[in-house]
Amino acid sequence: MVDSARAARLAKRISSIVASAIGSEIKDPRLAHVTITDARVTNDLHDATLYYTVMGESIDAEPDFEAAAAGLAKATGILRSKVGAGTGVRFTPTLTFVLDTVPDAARHMEELVARARANDELVARQAREATPAGEADPYRTREDDEDGSRE
């Protein structure tokens, strides 16, 4: 019987166990700037996918994704044993780490929105400054029809 609510609770618990273990118990310097962002567990509770992001050492520094992935691959066994001890489930799920692309996608979307706003402002400014090519009011009015001046 599938219990997706139990899988969601287990995913949340696994996420907190792994994040606290990476932050305090595992002394690998490659994992110093790794953050667990989300976890998903299959409905049969046998596989867990953990999503992570990597920050640079400073604001200007580029994050080292390969080193973080290697550090997580090396620590997977220790993390799985900590998950098994912390959850108390009969079968400890296998852990798979996937780089989370949501922050990069969000940043890209923000850049696109900013570019669209700038283009909208440019078009609005051009519309405000524009003058008609012909007369100011090119449409026929009732007065024009009565006196016959415009035909």
Return the pLDDT at 92: 92
pLDDT of residue 128: 87
Domain 4-100: assigned CATH number? 3.30.300.20
Taking the domains of the chain in order of start, what are their residue ranges?
4-100, 101-131
Question: pLDDT value at position 72?
Answer: 93
pLDDT-flagged residues of the chain (< 70): 1-2, 136, 144-151
Provide the pLDDT for residue 2.
Answer: 61
Could you tell me which of 11, 29, 39, 41 has the C-alpha nearest to residue 74? 29
Least Cα distance to 31 among 62, 73, 60, 84 occurs for: 73
Rounded to the nearest 10°, the torsion over CA 75, 77, 79, 84 is 180
CA angle 100, 105, 108 (to 5 degrees): 145
Place of tokens 């046998």: 46
Decide: pTM greater than 0.75. Answer: no
